[in-house]
Each structure stands twice: as C-alpha cells, then as structure tokens.
Amino acid sequence: MVKIKSNSSLDKITLQKSLTGIPGLDEITEGGLPKGRPTLICGSAGCGKTLLSMEFLVRGATQYNEPGVFMCFEEKAEELATNIASLGFDLKKLEREKKISIDHVHIERREIEETGEYDLDGLFIRLGHAIDSIKAKRVVLDTIETLFGGLSNDAILRSELKRLFGWLKEKGVTAIITGERGQGQLTRHGLEEYVSDCVILLDHRVTDQLSTRRLRIVKYRGSSHGTNEYPFLIDEHGISVIPITSLGLSHTVTSERISSGVMKLDAMMSGKGYYRGSSILVSGTAGTGKSSLGASFVQAACKRGEKVLYFAFEESPDQIIRNMRSIGVDLGKYVKNGSLKIHSSRPTLHGLEMHLAVMHKIVNEFLPQVVVIDPINNLLTSASGPEVRAMLVRLIDFIKTENITGFFTNLTSAGQDSLEETELGLSSLMDTWILIRNIELEGERKRGVYILKSRGMAHSNQIREFHLTDKGIDLSQPSWIK
C-alpha cells in the first residue's frame, strides 16, 4: 500500500474569481464567477438570463475595467440596447468607448438541416476578432439553443459543445452562456451543465397568483457557495439578489437605550426606553393605539436625527400622516426633510419572498436606524402562518445584523381566548413585548397597557391606563382601581 505524505508547506490554491458587481450575487458566490472559465445561466423564458448576463458585462466594463463582448443569436443589437436602456445601461455609449462590443449572429437552421454540416470554426474566428478588437475579458453567448438548434446529431452536438467551452477557456475570458430550461433537466440538450464550471439556475414561479423570482447556484467547481434559493429583484437599477437565507445568530448587541417617544412608558423600562438594535412587538385589538405608539417612537427617533423606514400594509402614507396629526404627531415634516420614508403596499402585491426582497433592498438603500412594520399579521393574506413566520424570522435577523431597531405591530383578534399570544407565534423572537388592550367597565371602554417582557432590563409589571390625546400619548394610574 502506497502512503501519500501531505506537504503542509504547499500554498493553498484558490480559484480566481471575477466580481459580477451585482448586489448579493458576489456574496453568495463568495467572490463572483470563476475567472477565465465558462458559467452556464439557465432558466425558462422571462426569468432574467439575458439581463443578468448583460449586467455582468456592464458592471465589468464600468466598475472593474474589464471590457466585454455580447454575442446574441436572437435579439439584434439595436433591440438589445433599447431593452436594456430601461435599466439605465447606455450600451451605445459603452460601444463607442470600446468597453463593450455587441455582435448579432444569424443562424439559418434550414441550411444546417439541408447540408448536414456544422462546426464552430466560423464562430471562433468572429468571436476571436471581437475579443481582440477591444481586449475583452468577459464574454456572453445568448442563447446556446439558437446556436445548436438545427443540429440533431448528438455526437456532433456533444463534440462541438466541448470545443466551444474549451476554446473559451483557451482564450482566458470569463464567459457566460445562457440556456433555456429543459424538460426534467437544466437545459434542453442536457449537456451544457456538465461542461460548465459554474451553473446558475433562475426561476420565475407563480404561487396563488403571486410571482417570485429565485436564483440558485447548482454547482461551482473548486469553490464553496451558497446553496439555498435566493429571491432576486429586477427594477430600474438592474438585478439585486437577496442572500437572506444565510443569516444566523451572530449579530452584536449594544447597551445603548433609546426613548419610546412616551416618557411614562420609558419610566416603565427603568426610565431609559428600548435597547438600540432590539426588536419590539406591540400587540392589541383594533383601535387600541398600536400604530399611535409606533408613530410616537418614529417621531422620537427623527428628533434624535435618526432615519426611520416605515413599512405600512394597511394605510397610505398620506393617511398615516393625517391620522397621526390627531394625536399631535406631525410625521409629514420628517418625510419632507428626508429622515422618514413611508413605504405602503398591499400584502397581496407580492409573494412573501418578494416582500422580503423589497424590504431588504430599501433598507440597504435608505440605511435607517429604525424600521417599523405595521402590522405584521396582514401578511397572512398572502401566505400561511408558518410561511409568514419564517419570512419574519429572516427579516428580524437581517435588521438585527444591521443594528437596526425593529418595531412591529400585531393585530390581535377580539375573540381570541388569550391576548398574551400572537397568531404568528413571534413573541419568543421579540426582545420587548407590549400589550395594549381594551377594558370595559361601567359602560365605558378604557385602554390598558403593560409590558409582558423586556429582555435584559428591569421593567414594570403594572398595568397603566393608556390615553390618546391631542398632545400625544399619556399613561396614568388605572382609573378603575379605587
């Protein structure tokens, strides 16, 4: 038996990578696509293959000084430039600056079928000239089905595919080849994924009439990578991949305390308020004042000079601003000066993953110190309880990782046997939990508030009467206690 001795002095060989410049994608690929090797991007029609490939070229040319060649077999160069312009990419300008070269190649399938001859020598000459003319470092071929569509001989197909991928490697370019999703396999031919060094699958699915785009790295030779499905957005700025499923319990904490915006509520928490970066849940039945307590917290944060992001699932921004004026809270001036951003949407507008992706993107763009979600249980209209809970767990982890203070409201059903529970079972994830409830006595409805828990701090266990006045929220000793 032969023993192989390990040599600890050998340097660890690491795979070189090319950054894509696409938010989130470089994180889950741990540095980008394999440098000087081909990557296959596959998926059904409309999932975003061409856009991701083009953004890879544009980011490379504009951010990393790596010119690129885009060879398309379906869309003409003019059509491609027009389609991509909606995302803010000026391809014609980049072509004039010799940072990008776009070449449309027309494949006549009938000629291939009639002659029975097919090889890629002509393509290699044409592509090689385009690469050399701008000293390209990146190449995209879109799509491979059109290139081989008229070829029925599997042996020739396999041989030419290997030649193509081998030729790209010899040229030393970082290449993307796009392919249509096949039946029961990643591509129509079922061969491209085996000769590719990296395979990325894009998916655009519709569940209960709600659509979500997802990305998954199927394989990546010589490199570790994220293995989950990741939602991604396509908007006016291009593609954003949201690597939220990789979050864990590794966030740091602080002992800094911040005011709730209600002085007497702060007094119930040792006179100091919430911990910064903590998660706060306020629950209660309709009309108890949950949103008002949230608005008071928003106002206090804005007065401190902090930025606040408010996600509303019931009311429009104007309606929230108008309603809060009735308790002496003017949120409008903070919207005008840019310290408050209110994002309103119906829960049924997107699937849960897309809601999470939108929130993730807006948080990264706005960089708030406080995030308000009002109310969380409205998300149940677009998914089941366990699905909503899983989504909110990821959201809570994300904002805690960013040291953002999260404020969540939860509508409790009036007929619920126990108010000291939430429909989504999120109370265990919260650092501070405040309950507001209606108390009917002698023909009059009063509000009571108490702190069910507040981790890491001494807090009152007494009930206070909760008043909504034209000068804000006030707490007092319960009038029903004689």
Q: Tell me, yes or no, whether 323 and 427 share the same domain.
A: yes
Other Cβ atoms closer than 10 A to 360: 23
Q: Tell me, yes or no, whether 235 and 132 share the same domain.
A: yes
Q: What pLDDT score does 383 carry?
A: 67
Q: Tell me, yes or no, whether 274 and 176 share the same domain.
A: no
Q: Tell me, yes or no, whether 177 and 221 share the same domain.
A: yes
Instruction: Specify the residue for token string 């007929």.
Output: 415
Between CA 409 and CA 413 the distance in angstroms is 13
* Residue 187 φ then ψ, to 5°: -130, 170
Q: Tell me, yes or no, whether 332 and 352 share the same domain.
A: yes
Other Cβ atoms closer than 10 A to 1: 2
Half-sphere exposure of 241 (CA within 13 A, CB side): 29
Other Cβ atoms closer than 10 A to 39: 25
Q: Tell me, yes or no, whether 173 and 321 share the same domain.
A: no
Would the CA dihedral through 115, 120, 124, 127 be positive or negative?
Answer: positive
For residue 58, give the nearest of 114, 101, 104 by alpha carbon.
101
Half-sphere exposure of 20 (CA within 13 A, CB side): 27
- Answer yes or no: is 23 within a domain: yes
Q: Say if residues 88 and 236 touch (Cβ distance below 8 Å).
A: yes
The verdict on whether 402 is a catalytic residue reads: no
- Answer yes or no: is 308 within a domain: yes
- Answer yes or no: is 482 within a domain: no
What total number of domains does the chain contain?
2
Q: Say if residues 480 and 462 touch (Cβ distance below 8 Å).
A: no
- Answer yes or no: is 252 within a domain: no
- Answer yes or no: is 5 within a domain: no
Q: Say if residues 408 and 430 touch (Cβ distance below 8 Å).
A: yes
Q: Which domain holds residue 103?
A: 17-245
- Answer yes or no: is 436 within a domain: yes
Final residue belonging to a domain, choices 220, 245, 270 = 245
Q: Tell me, yes or no, whether 439 and 314 share the same domain.
A: yes
- Answer yes or no: is 419 within a domain: yes
* Burial class of residue 415 (count of CB atoms within 10 Å of its CB; 0-12, 13-18, 19+): exposed
Final residue belonging to a domain, choices 217, 245, 273 = 245
For residue 311, give the nearest of 257, 350, 273 by alpha carbon.
350
Q: Say if residues 70 and 52 touch (Cβ distance below 8 Å).
A: no
Q: Say if residues 247 and 356 touch (Cβ distance below 8 Å).
A: no
Residue 198, domain CATH = 3.40.50.300
**Tokens found for residue 185:** 């396999």
User: 164-176 b/e with 16+ CB inside 10 Å = b?
Assistant: bbebbeebebbbb
Between CA 350 and CA 235 the distance in angstroms is 14
Final residue belonging to a domain, choices 225, 245, 265 = 245
Q: Tell me, yes or no, whether 144 and 263 share the same domain.
A: no
CB neighbour list of residue 251: distance below 8 Å, 6 or more residues apart: 277, 397, 400, 401, 403
Q: What pLDDT score does 52 carry?
A: 93
For residue 411, give the nearest of 310, 282, 298, 315 by alpha carbon.
282
Residues of the chain with pLDDT under 50: 1-12, 111-116, 246, 416-418
Catalytic residue among 30, 145, 306, 314: 314
Distances (CA, A) of 153 to 108, 110, 166, 190: 17, 15, 20, 14
Q: Is the peptide bond before 143 cis (omega within 30 degrees of 0)?
A: yes
Q: Tell me, yes or no, whether 232 and 268 share the same domain.
A: no
Q: Say if residues 341 and 310 touch (Cβ distance below 8 Å).
A: yes
The verdict on whether 74 is a catalytic residue reads: yes
Residue-wise pLDDT tens digits, 300-354 = 999 999 999 999 998 999 999 999 999 999 999 999 999 999 999 988 777 777 7
Strands 405-411 and 279-284: parallel
Q: Say if residues 231 and 201 touch (Cβ distance below 8 Å).
A: no
Q: Tell me, yes or no, whether 73 and 192 share the same domain.
A: yes
- Answer yes or no: is 226 within a domain: yes
Q: Tell me, yes or no, whether 213 and 316 share the same domain.
A: no
Q: Tell me, yes or no, whether 195 and 215 share the same domain.
A: yes
Between CA 470 and CA 450 the distance in angstroms is 22
**Tokens found for residue 150:** 């008229």
